[in-house]
Each structure stands twice: as structure tokens, then as C-alpha cells.
Structure 1
Amino acid sequence: MKVTVKSWTGVATWRWVANDDNCGICRMAFDGCCPDCKLPGDDCPLVWGQCSHCFHIHCIVKWLHSQQVNQHCPMCRQEWKFNNK
């Protein structure tokens, strides 16, 4: 028996693979987006520090700019360095 597919609609979902479900700064879900963005995904990516903590890129950049002298991870207070995986 031979079957012919006349129409096909693909449906997919995506999830960030992070060490937590929520951003430690804005407390919004990683599957969503930060308060500054309208849509999740590539426009609101996640970034990891060498300490392994993960944040929305917009949240950690704001956090780092708000620090006067030393730029530390808001979770563990280690010096913040972006992890170049």
C-alpha cells in the first residue's frame, strides 16, 4: 500500500537548557523573555558566567552597568566573567 501525504504542518517547541528555570535578576522564566523584550528567543538570549550562573543577556548587562567598581555575579558574588563555551 502506498500513502501520499497531501499536506503537512510541523509544530515545534523550544526551551533554553539552563541550570535554573528563572533569571536570578528579573525572576522571569527563561522560556519567556526579560522585561525589556517583547518576544523570547534569539533577541533575548541567555548568557552564562564562569561561575555557571545564567541570566538573560539584557538583565546581566544592566546589572553590570549598575555596579560602581567591581562587577560581580548577583548570585554568588564572584567576579563576573562571561563563559565562552
Structure 2
Amino acid sequence: MKVKILQWHAVASWTWDAQDETCGICRMAFDGCCPDCKFPGDDCPLVWGACNHSFHLHCILKWVNSQNSQASQQQPQCPMCRREWQFKA
């Protein structure tokens, strides 16, 4: 007896490999997306700082820009630990 497959539907899931489950700025889940985005994934990636805290890219960019406009002499700080913000290399 032979079986012929007429259709096949694959299902997959993904998750970010972050220490936390939510963004420290917007408090939205990492498996979702930030308030500025409609769909999670490549359009709303996670970024890590040198301090190992992770945020949605859009959230940390807004944070860094707001820090730069408030204090032009100081470097932006991580919103979680207040260390100098640097993107993890």
C-alpha cells in the first residue's frame, strides 16, 4: 500500500533568547512587539547592551535620543542599571 501526500502544512514557532520576558522600557513581551510596530520579528528586533540588558530596538533608540536631548554632556545610560549605554558588539 502506498500513501500519496496531497498537501502538507508546516507549523513553526520562534522566541528571542533574552534573559527577561519583557522590554524594560515599554513592558511589552519580547515575543510580541513594541508599541510602534504591528508585527513581531525582523521589523521589531531585540538589541542587547554591553550590560546584557535587552530591549526592543525602537524602544532603546527613543530612550537614547531622549537622553541625548536632555543632557548633551553625558552619555546615555541603560534604563535598567544606569550604566553607560553601549550596544553589545
TM-score between the two structures when normalised by the length of structure 2: 0.88
2:59 aligns with 59
Map 1:21-60 onto structure 2 (within 5 A): 21-60=21-60
Q: For 1:83, which of 72, 85, 88 is the aligned residue? A: 88
Q: Runs of 5+ in structure 1 lacking a partner?
A: none
Once the two structures are superposed, residues 31-78 of structure 1 have per-residue CA deviations (whole angstroms, 9 ceiling, x without a partner) of 000000111100000000010000000000000011123201000011
Match of 1:64, SS state, is helix
1:72 aligns with 2:77: yes
Secondary structure of 1:61 counterpart: helix
* Counterpart Cα distance in 2 of 1:48 and 1:13: 22
Measured after TM superposition, the shift of residue 19 of structure 1 is 0.8
- Residue 55 of structure 1 aligns to a residue whose secondary structure is strand
Aligned-pair RMSD on alpha carbons?
Answer: 1.0
User: What CA distance in whole angstroms lies between the structure 1 residues aligned with 2:25 and 2:77?
Assistant: 13
What is the TM-score with the length of structure 1 in the denominator? 0.92
Matched residues in 1 for 2:3 and 2:16: separation? 37
CA positional deviation for 1:2? 3.9
Q: Structure 1 segments of 4 or more deviating over 6 A? A: none
